[in-house]
Amino acid sequence: MRRHRDRATWPRRVRGRRPLIACLWLLAACSGTPDSSDTGTGCPNDLPADCPADVPDYNADVAPIIADRCLSCHSPGGAGEAGHDFTTWDTLNAQQTTVLTQVYACKMPPEGAPPLTSAERGTLLDWLVCGAPGD
Ligand code: HEC
């Protein structure tokens, strides 16, 4: 019953948001940005103030995002591999401040690469603010 009602409200919410999204895409196009990904100006100011009670789990939550969005470059043989091989937790944890800075400033993934969804970004930022714990 509840699920059904949720699903019924979805299309309306999505339709309501579409004009805003269209405007953002147009703005990016008009300001001469050839790629529509964030260049910094559209980067959300959403750093969590504190580590949330529900700390994201490295294996279950974080590693799959890193695998999808980062490892194409940050694994052996990749463009961003030198010193930044993120296939295991160790290097991510050791470089957590740099990783946090790069993700928060929307610098990584770089322009042209598939961007993080806002849910993925939220999970990574939460985890990093918690000190990038392992399992
Ligand atoms: C399209 C390729 C690509 C993708 C995808 C990518 N990166 Fe990078 N990244 C690079 C390159 C190239 C560098 C520069 C490497 C160097 O300086 O040795 C880099 C550098 C970095 C650095 C170091 C920056 C510094 O100032 O030292 C961090 C941290 C980083 N990336 C995190 C990430 C994270 C986290 C993701 C996924 C959310 C990601 N990157 C996705 C290519 C990529």
8-12, 74-78, 79-83, 93-97, range with the lowest pLDDT: 8-12
Q: How confident is the model at residue 3 (pLDDT cuts 50, 70, 90)?
A: low
Query: What Rg do the C-alpha atoms of the chain give, in angstroms?
Result: 17
Number of Cβ within a 10 Å radius of residue 78: 16
Ligand 1 binding pocket mutation candidate from 65, 68, 74 (most atoms within 8 A of CB) = 74
Q: Where are the alpha helices (DSSP H) in 31-69?
A: 63-69
Q: What tokens were used for 107? A: 């610098």
Predicted confidence (pLDDT) at residue 112 exceeds the cutoff of 90: yes
The confidence score (pLDDT) of residue 36 equals 42
CB 83 within 8 A of CB 105: no
Question: What is the pTM assigned to this prediction?
Answer: 0.77
Relative to the CA of 120, which ligand 1 atom is closest? 38
Residue nearest to atom 26 of ligand 1 (CA): 98
For the cut 80, the answer to whether the pLDDT of residue 16 exceeds it is no
CA distance 92 to 76: 14
Tokens describing residue 62: 């974080």
Average pLDDT taken over every residue of the chain: 80
- What is the best residue among 72, 102, 107 to mutate for testing ligand 1's pocket, by most ligand atoms within 8 Å of CB? 102
